[in-house]
Amino acid sequence: MNFSPNKSLYGVLPVLHTPFREDGAIDQATLAREIDWAFQTGAHGVVMAMVSEVGRLPQPMRHQLAELICNSAQGRGFSVISVGAESTLEACSLAEHAQQAGASAVMAIPPVASRLGSGAIRAYFAAIAQSIDLPLVVQDASGYVGAEISLDVYLDLLEQFGPERIFFKPEAHPLGPNLSRLRDATQGQARIFEGSGGINLVDCYRRGIQGTMPGTDLLDAVIALWQALEAKNEERAYEISLPLGALVALQLSAGLDGFLAIEKYLMKKRGLFPNTLQRQPVAWELDAETQAEVDRLFLRLAKVLR
């Protein structure tokens, strides 16, 4: 891929899984290998976000992870850094750090500890955008945590900052219809990413998305699917999306920790990670029967990708 840093965010931007050593530190060598593999596989950039376990990292380690990712992605593709926090002050501080580290864009979810009104959520995102010069991806993660962001908040932010500064990643259910509502309400100006892991990618692509942010564990399948959609090869798209969707359905069934457990298991299965260590505590762990089904589906997906 010929990467231009001046190009608008676009394409397949996988969310990286954070590898840990037994002592709890970030495994920097494994992270570098993961990023190399992402770009070699055809990613347009890399992302640090929820399945990177950012919410479970102390601030110094969160800063370290952002710096490692931005440095490694430099000149190869986009780097998007999640800066969502429970306070506006903290989110702005994280955004400023991401800009200093060389990020292409930042992404943020709203605070999740309080049920905020639209005015407070709008002010939170506006403050982040005003604290930096980078684009901001406004992420509604209510499919996993928090509450749905009102359409009015999206429209106000787009009007205030414009489509070059504000991108959207709506994840409230039902994903497709909500995406279309945002697209139509902005007369197609909204630049939208989907984050379903691939399970809704065909549907969302038809609705005019700018790109997708899946996990890294199934990146080769998502890139193959994206390329099939770009080529308007419907037969190939469905051939890939059906086993891919079955795998992601297993991840979704256990929420965010389901994604984390299965994704890290697959990263180890691929030989990219030496272990499946997660930041504790977690609400769900991979059981033997689910693992066996993951193995069966992964084998089917691999056959399709040959």
Q: Which residues are annotated as a binding site for pyruvate?
A: 213
In the annotated binding site, the residues are 213
Q: How far is residue 128's CA from residue 53's CA, in Å, rounded to a whole number?
A: 21
Question: CA nearest 145: which of 166, 114, 184, 167?
Answer: 114
Residue type for position 199: I
Q: How far is residue 81's CA from residue 136's CA, in Å, rounded to a whole number?
A: 10
Continuous H helices in 51-174:
59-73, 88-101, 118-131, 151-161
- DSSP code of 238? H
Beta bridge partners of 136: 106, 166
Using an 8 Å Cβ cutoff, are 162 and 129 in contact? no
Question: CA nearest 80: which of 100, 94, 92, 66?
Answer: 66
Q: Annotate 173-201 with three-state secondary structure.
A: CCHHHHHHHHHHHCCCCCCEEECCCCCCH
Residue type for position 189: Q
The CA–CA distances, whole Å, from 257 to 107, 131, 163 equal 20, 32, 33
